[in-house]
Chain A
Amino acid sequence: WLYLRARKERERREKRQRELRALALGQGNFQLVDHRGQPRCKADFRGQWVLLYFGFTHCPDVCPDELEKLSRVVELLDRDAALPRVQPLFITVDPERDDVAAVGRYVRDFHPRLLGLTGSPEQVRAVSSAYRVYASAGPKDEDGDYIVDHTIIIYLLGPDGLFLDYYNRSKTADKIAESVRKRS
């Protein structure tokens, strides 16, 4: 019976893998600028496991929470010397305000390896749509301030640059780390 259960579990996992591969998120290249002002494209991250989060620096609570969680995942994985070092990435969905300096100030508060990326509105739109990220800027108030409504997801990319899995707000750092560990 235990054998049957293990086999059922394996089949469930394989089915999920096929579904995720069929989604084929993150196709194509992206051209952005990192928070040190260096141009970065998708190929730069080949060979690395990447955990990617889309957000914006004026975000009231969700983005800091998710980036804290992401930092925690990286810390947990770093503890295992046998695992490759994961590269955490933050991409802004608010390029109008989040320039290189703004992104630099923001990522400083999280994991030291967290790399922030921004670009022109066109470049950001291209990478957001490649990952099917929903992002919609709300109305501006009298200070010109606004909140960007957006999907809250952490994406896992493998060393070949392909999308492997995604984790929503309800996934804990421990669960995410476990999921990454299983694949690497």
Chain B
Amino acid sequence: WGLRQPGLCACALCRFRAPDLRGRCGPGREAESRGPRIAAAIMSAPTMEERKACWAARDEFWRCLDGHTEDAPQCEKLRRSFESLCPQQWVKYFDKRRDFLKYKEKLESEGFQSPETTRKS
């Protein structure tokens, strides 16, 4: 899931990154007029509406994963939507959160069944 495919961040979808000439996502549009280095430094924080849109996309993606498997191809479209509506740093953060929640779930359900696991923990 870490790979970003070029050309998927269309301007209409990507508030957080306008595509560069090679179709890769660049810094936030608001800061672009001030030059690329400054743009990178002062990308503005998401507004409340943008936060809610990001969380909704994340939740929809996670619901899809819950219904299939953790890397289900059926959830690909929702994954892309999630990536376009959330800052890259938030995508990484939520991916880690998901991993942790899944790990915790696994421990809680399997921990009691496997004597080996309980011995280790």
Contacts and interface: CB of A to CB of B under 8 A. Distances in A.
Chain A at the B interface: SS class: loop
Q: How large is the interface on B (under 10, 10 to 19, 20 to 34, 35 or more residues)?
A: 20 to 34
Interface string B9-38: 000000011000000001110000000000
B45 interface: yes
B45 A58 contact: yes
Contacts of B92: 141
Contacts of B86: 60
Interface stretch (B47-55, B77-85, B104-112): B47-55
Nearest to B38: A144
A60 B93 contact: yes
B13 to A, nearest CB: 16
Contact of A144 (B43, B47, B93): B43
Interface range for A: 10 to 19
A142 interface: yes
Interface stretch (A34-42, A72-80, A101-109): A101-109
A60 B90 contact: yes
A145 interface: yes
Contact of A143 (B43, B45, B47, B55): B43
B55 A146 contact: no
Contacts of B3: none
Given A142-B40, A143-B17, A58 B47 contact: no
Interface in B36-67: 40-48, 51, 55
Contacts, number: 54
Give the interface SS of chain B, mostly helix, strand, loop or mixed: loop
Given A64-B51, A97-B42, A105-B47, A143 B27 contact: yes
Interface in A41-60: 57-58, 60
A135 to B, nearest CB: 16
A144 B51 contact: no
A70 to B, nearest CB: 15
Contacts of A105: 44-45, 47
Given A64-B51, A143-B88, A57 B45 contact: yes
Contacts of A19: none
B103 interface: no
A146 B47 CA distance: 17
A61 interface: yes
Interface of B: 16-17, 26-28, 40-48, 51, 55, 86-90, 92-94
Given A105-B44, A141-B92, A145-B88, 7 more contacts: A61-B51, A97-B42, A105-B45, A141-B89, A143-B43, A144-B41, A145-B87
